[in-house]
Amino acid sequence: MTLILSNEEITDLLEMKEVINELEEVYRDLDIGKATTRRRSDSLVPALHDGNEAIYGLKSMDGISPRQGFSAVRLNSDIITWPIIEGNLRRVKIPAAPNNRWVGLIILFSTHNGEPLAIMPDGVIQRMRVGATNGLGIKYMARESAKTIGILGSGWQAGTQLLAACNVRDIEMIKCFSPNSANRLNFTQEMTEILGVEMMVVNSAEEAVSGVDIVLCATNSIEKVYIESWLRPGIHISSIKMPEIEEEVLKKCHRVCLHYGQQRPDTVIAKGLVPPDRRLGKGWEANRTFDYGSCPLLSQMISGKVKGRKSDDEITCFINDMGIGLQFAVTAGVAYKKALDAGVGKKLPTDWFTENVHP
């Protein structure tokens, strides 16, 4: 049987602690070349949305975790627009599929016999693995005694960022800022309940990050949200998107660690098409001055090749610069095993997704 899982089922099944633990083991395998992951690919062509200029994007990434016996491909089929929201240029995926839905899929395979074990949406898995990855950044880089968090952002990613942070450190207080006051209030109320930790809504980014041990940047901004003048000794800064952190910040850090910094996506763009962020030259890439190439990777830190922090005074930063397919093999694998145990999911005949003729 091949399982079809829903985001609701995955939400009920997946626990952040398990995802962090499993990913931690597999990053060690990745570091020694036992697990593999291939760089993301993005293909872009012009499209229309409601008569306006948009882009159709097909994105894919994959990875193999022999330790678990899983491989996975993660696929995204997106209609993308670039509106300006609250003064910032943003990249927005439109839920253009029937019933106003997005399209992100994970196909999970067995490395033992190749069979397709499960098909599931990527939304919940995606934020769990981003959260777990930044959580590992915190585990290996933040002060052991870190107790306070300032979070910038209150969207889809912000929740799992907090969940992961609270899993790896004993957090006692969280301050939250995001530009929309209703959003940040709702988010804070919801997360206080989930985390059982005191949370405060504040009125500026500076207020949120002031005096805290850990700063979590969890926005979808493609412009900087954390700046140099806010830096204090001993802080750990965690980011889910490269442009969030001003480069002057990175130059002051004693250690900047990237998730998977060496590689750029394999990008194929229809001739003449230039996505608006590149066209406007407003992206972080236009004026890079920090040497990202010299940063160690998360897998090297987890394997012990480099140390995240040498003293409580050091300033550290983890940038989740780019996702990898291996994260989906690992996280979807955890969800699949738990779904099997719990008898959850729609069961379809595996023969529907295999064949008796040579591929």
Site for a copy of itself in 235-264 (CB under 8 A): none
354 binds a copy of itself per the rule CB under 8 A? yes
Cα end-to-end distance, the chain, whole Å: 20
| HSE (side-chain half, CA atoms, 13 Å) at 203 | 0
318 strand-pairing partners = 238, 257
Residue 89 vs 105, nearer CB to a copy of itself: 105
| Smallest gap from residue 9 Cβ to a copy of itself (A) | 11
User: Which of 36-44, 133-141, 158-166, 314-322 is the region at the interface with a copy of itself (rule: CB under 8 A)?
Assistant: 36-44
Question: CA dihedral defined by 84, 289, 161, 211, rounded to 10 degrees?
Answer: -100
Residue 204 vs 350, nearer CB to a copy of itself: 350
| Smallest gap from residue 142 Cβ to a copy of itself (A) | 27
Token representation of residue 348:
């379809």
| Smallest gap from residue 229 Cβ to a copy of itself (A) | 32
- Find the DSSP H helices in 273-324: 276-280, 298-302
Query: x-or-dash pattern for a copy of itself, window 59-78, by CB under 8 A?
Result: -x-xxx-x----x-x-xxxx
**DSSP type of residue 233:** T
14 binds a copy of itself per the rule CB under 8 A? no
CA 90/CA 81 separation, integer angstroms: 8
270 binds a copy of itself per the rule CB under 8 A? yes
84 binds a copy of itself per the rule CB under 8 A? no
The secondary structure element, H or E, covering residue 238 is: strand 236-239
102 binds a copy of itself per the rule CB under 8 A? yes
278 binds a copy of itself per the rule CB under 8 A? no
Choose among 268, 322, 295, 305: nearest CA to 31: 305
Query: x-or-dash pattern for a copy of itself, window 119-158, by CB under 8 A?
Result: x-xxxx-x----------------------------xx--
The secondary structure element, H or E, covering residue 125 is: helix 123-141
296 binds a copy of itself per the rule CB under 8 A? no
Site for a copy of itself in 155-184 (CB under 8 A): 155-156
What's the burial of 344, exposed, middle or buried (CB within 10 Å: 0-12/13-18/19+)? middle
| Smallest gap from residue 152 Cβ to a copy of itself (A) | 18
CA 132/CA 142 separation, integer angstroms: 15
**Interface size with a copy of itself, residues (CB under 8 A):** 78
230 binds a copy of itself per the rule CB under 8 A? no
Residues 36/64, Cβ–Cβ less than 8 Å: yes
CA 347/CA 342 separation, integer angstroms: 13
Instruction: Return the residue of 172, 190, 198, 266 that touches a copy of itself, per CB under 8 A.
Output: 266
104 binds a copy of itself per the rule CB under 8 A? yes
Q: For the chain, how many residues are written? A: 359
Residue 47 vs 142, nearer CB to a copy of itself: 47
